[in-house]
Structure 1
Amino acid sequence: MNATATTVDAARTASPELTDLLTALARHRDFLRFTVRGLTDEQARQTPTASALSLGGLIKHVRDTEIGWMRFAVGGAELMESDPADWENGFRMLEDETLEGLLESYEETAATTERLLADLDLNTAHPLPVAPWFEPGASWTVRRVVLHLIAETSQHAGHADIIRETVDGQRTMG
């Protein structure tokens, strides 16, 4: 069974809104995972465009972003910031990492997200962390966090498609 079907099955007992949100998130996760299908670890580490992005690094970044934002959804900025991000290596697939391992970890993250969201109220809001890219004093609801995860995953699935086409000519989204 694919991840989208699993998500949809798990969300059937949730609200229609949460079901829709989880289904959209699962669809974009599937696009991202499909983009790396059949690649070697070496190909997943390549940075063939003008940016420093690699396919494995994108999987890692989207996973880490989802973990961080779900920490925020559960416990606000304090919990989100209690596990500092690895800014230097957050977009890179390191030599000791495998694409298979990153994908397995991403699957575990997705399952954790879905379990957490089943128990959270989408209307619960927390003040955002203090950062120059956030409006001072703004708060986000759990709903807004999920919408952000959908946007983040979708954006990086598009990046991944461009990188994949550069690596081996394979086009995954068009």
Structure 2
Amino acid sequence: MTTNEQGLSGERADIIELLASRRNFLRHTAQGLTDEQATTRSTKSELTVGGLIKHVSTVEQRWAEFAQGKEDAMPAEYTPEVIAAWQDQFRFVGGETLADVLAEYEKVAAATEELVRTLDLDTKYELPVAPWQPPGVFWTVRMAFLHIAAETAQHAGHADIIRETIDGQKTMG
């Protein structure tokens, strides 16, 4: 059983620790990068370190809204506008900088951690309609938080490969 610095213990402390450790891996990939490097496509993919951090922040915010039962947390329909906004999650737009994206990620993380402390983890909501998701599937709030950790870990791995290709830095190893 984990006890964190706020004295929280048990499952909630474990979830907060899991989220924090996965976020740290992702943030580490951006350490010391310039805005230009943070937006460099260093592989065949269009993904960049900065774009991945921005995307993960947006996705975390949406899943946190889902965990609060907000029906409009996820798109109800995949229109051209929704798809364009989705694509903009992966790149800096309108003068955004790495510092801006990291600052927003910190705000989102703090808000999510407060939800982990306060929401009923057993409350269930139906997953939003999506091309990859059949209707009628429900997730607990707990599962939404675990999904955020999984998504963050997956994209931290992507960012690590991109970063290593840019300048050789690795998160681990």
TM-score by length of 2: 0.89
Contact conserved, 2:122 with 2:142, CA < 8 A, in 1? yes
Identity of aligned pairs, percent?
53
* Count of aligned pairs: 165
Contact conserved, 1:45 with 1:57, CA < 8 A, in 2? yes
- Residue ranges of structure 1 left out of the alignment (5+ in a row): 1-6
Match status 1:8 vs 2:7: no
Cα deviations by residue, 1:99-135 (Å, 9 ceiling, x for unpaired): 1111111011000001122110110000111112113
Q: Secondary structure at the match of 2:73?
A: helix
Contact conserved, 2:15 with 2:116, CA < 8 A, in 1? no
Partner of 2:164 in structure 1? 165
Partner of 2:79 in structure 1? none
More helix by share: 1
CA gap 1:149/1:30 in 2 versus in 1, 3 angstroms: same
- Residue ranges of structure 2 left out of the alignment (5+ in a row): 77-81
Pairwise CA RMSD: 1.9
TM-score by length of 1: 0.88
How do 1:140-155 residues align onto structure 2 when only pairs under 5 Å count? 140-155=139-154
Partner of 1:22 in structure 2? 16
Partner of 2:95 in structure 1? 96
How do 1:58-77 residues align onto structure 2 when only pairs under 5 Å count? 58-76=52-70
Match status 1:54 vs 2:53: no
- Letter matched to residue 80 of structure 1: A
